[in-house]
Structure 1
Amino acid sequence: MKTKTLRQDKVNVITMGCSKNLVDSENIITQLMANDFEVDHDGKEDANVVIINTCGFIDLAKEESINTILTYADKKNKGQIDKLYVTGCLSQRYKDNLEEGIPEVDAFFGTMELPGLLNRLEADYKHELIGERFITTPAHYAYLKISEGCNRTCSFCAIPLMRGDHVSRPIEELVASAEHLVRNGVKELMLIAQELTYYGLDIYKKRALPELLDALCAVEGLQWIRLHYAYPSKFPRNIFDVMAAQPKVCNYLDIPLQHASDAVLKRMRRQITRKETEDVIAYARKTVPGIAIRTTFLVGHPGETEEEFEELCEFVKTMRFERLGVFQYSHEEDTIAHDYPDDVPAEVKVDRANRLMAIQQEISLELNEARVGETLRVIIDRKDNDVYVGRTEFDSPEVDNEVLIPAKDIYLRTGDMIKVKVNAATEYDLEGVPVA
């Protein structure tokens, strides 16, 4: 008579990089738990099996991923763990080099090789789990990846090399995922993709993000839907019409613009001009009054002159974005820009990034101070010592502003949605008190 073998392995899944990687790690955890593994995420040191989900986006991210692999390779050499596996973007892109350089790793897997990873752990890939996912975020919010890959050809970007061509998930599958998440306490969904506005072109032969939003808005119990990583070129403006019509869709858009100089945009192969960019932003602000626009810019791209950078600074001052981040150009192998000389010195890249963020800091302070006296809907993320920390619909977790609420004499739960009257502001935070 066959008896079930009790598993002794405990797995620690470590996630590097972006929210899209986090979703991949959550899918790994879901499959392992369904196979009766004990699993931690970025967990304690008592796991004997470690899976590192790596990032390979830019030099700093690659360095962090490699250092993490080396740390756990050393632990394996010392007998502190038994098995070490590596997956994700870095592994997809540099598998051969990594296998040669870090032989302590038991196996490397690419971004789309979850069944192979599970097989190595003697676990079954359970197709019936499609739509279900264990989440590592606080229980009231989760990320929903609506597509994989990217068909764009931006000169600086290696993501298509690591993630492949754009592949959309069907609307009914995404709705089922959303319903599962809401049943488990999720109130806010962050829709993520390499290129959000491309959604549906491959399977529906049209840009279908508005239809997806309408379907998700019908999910009972879901409160907020937030849009991340939209490409500005040929932006489908009916998305703003849905945003204006559907209360569940946050008045928030993450739309990386990368630059404002036409010459730099052309070298970046962004397929858009400054004027076209301004038209998209103007339409958004007209159609959705009060919309918060988050964007990112890339400084130090090959050939970027001081004059072109100053044009970017002037653009930021004029547009007054609600949220803004800055990356420094990283010279990535096999990208189009790698054929150009990396001719902006490192110290200049740092200086330009700092100067641009200094401009944004002033803008952010002015915009936040204008909120004083307003009453805003806030979702509570956590309690830090003597304050509750929440966010408005204009803010995404970890990257945007927070709302600080004194905890004395009041009791709030994580995930509560309350009204808060703003009574003070700093560059990146609001302070306020709950009101009825």
Structure 2
Amino acid sequence: MRTKLKKDKVNIITLGCSKNLVDSEVLSGQLAAADVNVEHESKKLDHNIVVVNTCGFIDKAKEESINTILEQVELKKRGKLDKVYVTGCLSERYKQNLEDEIPEVDAFFGTMELPFLLRKFDVDYKAELVGERLLSTPNHYAYLKISEGCNRTCSFCAIPLMRGKHVSRSIESLVNEAKNLVQRGVKEIMLIAQELTYYGLDIYKKRELPKLLHALADIPGLEWIRLHYAYPSKFPMEIIDAMKERENICNYLDMPLQHASNKMLHAMKRQITREEMEDIIGEIKYKIPGICLRTTLIAGFPKETKDDVEELKTFLKKIEFDRVGIFTYSHEENTTAYDLADDVPSEIKEQRAQEIMEVQQEISFMKNEEKIGKTFKVIIDKKEAGRYLGRTEFDSVEVDNEVIVHSKTKLLPGDFVNVKITSAFDYDLEGELVN
């Protein structure tokens, strides 16, 4: 161990989803409030302590998390680091295995063990600091986690094993945090949860996402509110009513469907049929004709056949989602699907995922072409290679389209501008500033 000549500096590395990112921001806020020097994803390599916030969602994510831990352990062995701590979903799920396999890590913590992690820095968890996050995103947008955990029993999903049962935060605490974020320059908030539509059932005894949306929409200066991860079964249409009534709730909904074959939906324990999904989507589009619908799918679930894949492709062509993401099935222990044989070879899973995305690519290009000549409100995210990159209300950060904006006027991140679309690509748009 090298002799420490200066004060500790902590670097937090975050893997996985936006919910993990928020957890890292909360950790940063607690440390900073206690006068601990902390950064997120620092490239300067001037820190002596690392916290790796891991993901345990699917095989690829687990592999990335383990590789990252091993990289940090190697730095510790070479005397470049004093301490390596590990937290997050992988640590929650496989703590004992990880302690046995990677003993060089100083301590492992689960998803609910923030107070114990803080004690390693002689810091007490302060409940009054909830909302005092150190943002790792650009200042103009932020994620707002409205609940933790999930009560759904999807057969493929290990999230309840890592995050526990659904626990909603109060409307008051969320409004206060959102106001705090807006005061710091945030103009767009993305609501995230394992399952948005369940919000409020535990603490208010009824679904209260619409009430929360109206309360957030009342905050002056909050220009865009975006909804991620809504479960389709028994979807509360009041959410769409709130979206329609409030101008600053984006006409955007992320609704992971996972499949469209009834056989697969039943095996996945999704509590919904293809026909019911079509009815829900039809009603949503009827209420808000221009809404952007994003979904996520799984390719290669056990016993999936070519016919199931063809049915899914037919469904995509019929519904014409604006955005689609796809995962290949990951065989997760302690899920109910783990009892099934993982009988679709990995190369077939990849091939099917590619086939499905080729269908979506055509739909995406067609929808983008329809936007040529039209003018959209765009938020500027950054300047890159001499041009500005932004998004419309129909595009979320990192997962959706970008708009390449040509402007002789200087623009800043967080600026809202009107852009006339001049060119369309498979997944991006290009346009010119309109005064």
**Residues 324 and 360 in structure 2, CA contact (< 8 A), matched pair in contact too:** yes
**Map of 1:350 onto structure 2:** 350
**Residues 400 and 428 in structure 1, CA contact (< 8 A), matched pair in contact too:** yes
**Residues 13 and 51 in structure 2, CA contact (< 8 A), matched pair in contact too:** yes
SS in 2 for 1:382: strand
**Residues 26 and 131 in structure 2, CA contact (< 8 A), matched pair in contact too:** no
Q: CA deviation at 1:94?
A: 0.1
Gaps of 5+ in 2: none
SS in 2 for 1:338: helix
**Map of 1:202 onto structure 2:** 202
Superposed counterparts of 1:75-86, under 5 Å: 75-86=75-86
Q: CA deviation at 1:225?
A: 0.1
**Map of 1:412 onto structure 2:** 411
**Map of 1:130 onto structure 2:** 130
**Residues 418 and 434 in structure 2, CA contact (< 8 A), matched pair in contact too:** yes
Q: C-alpha distance in 2, partners of 1:124/1:200?
A: 29
**Map of 1:189 onto structure 2:** 189
Q: C-alpha distance in 1, partners of 2:131/2:15?
A: 23
One-letter amino acid matched to 2:275? K
Give the TM-score taking structure 1 as reference length. Answer: 0.98
Instruction: Kindly indicate whether residue 374 of structure 2 is the aligned counterpart of residue 360 of structure 1.
Output: no
Q: CA deviation at 1:406?
A: 2.0
SS in 2 for 1:366: helix
SS in 2 for 1:75: helix
Q: C-alpha distance in 1, partners of 2:31/2:288?
A: 43
Q: C-alpha distance in 1, partners of 2:269/2:307?
A: 19
**Residues 148 and 166 in structure 1, CA contact (< 8 A), matched pair in contact too:** yes
**Map of 2:73 onto structure 1:** 73
**Map of 2:89 onto structure 1:** 89
SS in 2 for 1:212: helix
Q: Map Cα deviations across residues 279-319 of structure 1 (whole Å, 9 max, x no partner).
A: 11111111012000000100100111111111001111111
One-letter amino acid matched to 2:397? P
One-letter amino acid matched to 1:33? A
Instruction: Kindly indicate whether residue 218 of structure 2 is the aligned counterpart of residue 226 of structure 1.
Output: no
Gaps of 5+ in 1: 1-5
**Residues 7 and 37 in structure 1, CA contact (< 8 A), matched pair in contact too:** no
**Map of 2:432 onto structure 1:** 433
Identity score, percent: 62
SS in 2 for 1:233: coil
Q: C-alpha distance in 1, partners of 2:386/2:126?
A: 44
**Residues 224 and 248 in structure 1, CA contact (< 8 A), matched pair in contact too:** yes
SS in 2 for 1:353: helix
**Map of 1:105 onto structure 2:** 105
Q: CA deviation at 1:132?
A: 2.1
**Map of 1:296 onto structure 2:** 296
Q: Map Cα deviations across residues 191-237 of structure 1 (whole Å, 9 max, x no partner).
A: 00000000000000000000000000111110000000000000001
SS in 2 for 1:103: coil
**Map of 1:64 onto structure 2:** 64
Q: Map Cα deviations across residues 232-288 of structure 1 (whole Å, 9 max, x no partner).
A: 000001111111110010000000000000010000000000010001111111101
Q: C-alpha distance in 2, partners of 1:183/1:414?
A: 16
**Residues 12 and 50 in structure 1, CA contact (< 8 A), matched pair in contact too:** yes
**Which segment drifts farther, 119-128 or 285-294?**
119-128
SS in 2 for 1:220: coil
Q: Map Cα deviations across residues 7-34 of structure 1 (whole Å, 9 max, x no partner).
A: 7000000000000000000000000000
Superposed counterparts of 1:32-431, under 5 Å: 32-43=31-42, 44-407=44-407, 409-431=408-430
RMSD between superposed Cα atoms in Å: 0.9
**Residues 406 and 433 in structure 2, CA contact (< 8 A), matched pair in contact too:** no
Q: CA deviation at 1:391?
A: 0.2
SS in 1 for 2:87: strand
**Residues 251 and 288 in structure 2, CA contact (< 8 A), matched pair in contact too:** yes
**Residues 85 and 105 in structure 1, CA contact (< 8 A), matched pair in contact too:** yes
The number of residue pairs the alignment matches comes to: 430
Q: Map Cα deviations across residues 86-136 of structure 1 (whole Å, 9 max, x no partner).
A: 000000000000000001100000001000000111112122212322111
Q: C-alpha distance in 1, partners of 2:284/2:417?
A: 27
Q: C-alpha distance in 2, partners of 1:155/1:124?
A: 38
Q: C-alpha distance in 1, partners of 2:263/2:130?
A: 45
**Which segment drifts farther, 40-49 or 88-97?**
40-49
Give the TM-score taking structure 2 as reference length. Answer: 0.98
Q: C-alpha distance in 2, partners of 1:285/1:7?
A: 59
One-letter amino acid matched to 1:242? A
Q: C-alpha distance in 2, partners of 1:128/1:244?
A: 34
One-letter amino acid matched to 2:207? R
Q: C-alpha distance in 1, partners of 2:55/2:253?
A: 24
Q: Map Cα deviations across residues 365-411 of structure 1 (whole Å, 9 max, x no partner).
A: 0000000010000000000011100000000000000000124x221
Segments of 4+ moved more than 6 angstroms: none
Q: CA deviation at 1:336?
A: 0.4
Q: C-alpha distance in 2, partners of 1:132/1:271?
A: 38
Q: C-alpha distance in 2, partners of 1:157/1:245?
A: 34
One-letter amino acid matched to 1:294? R
**Residues 14 and 54 in structure 2, CA contact (< 8 A), matched pair in contact too:** yes
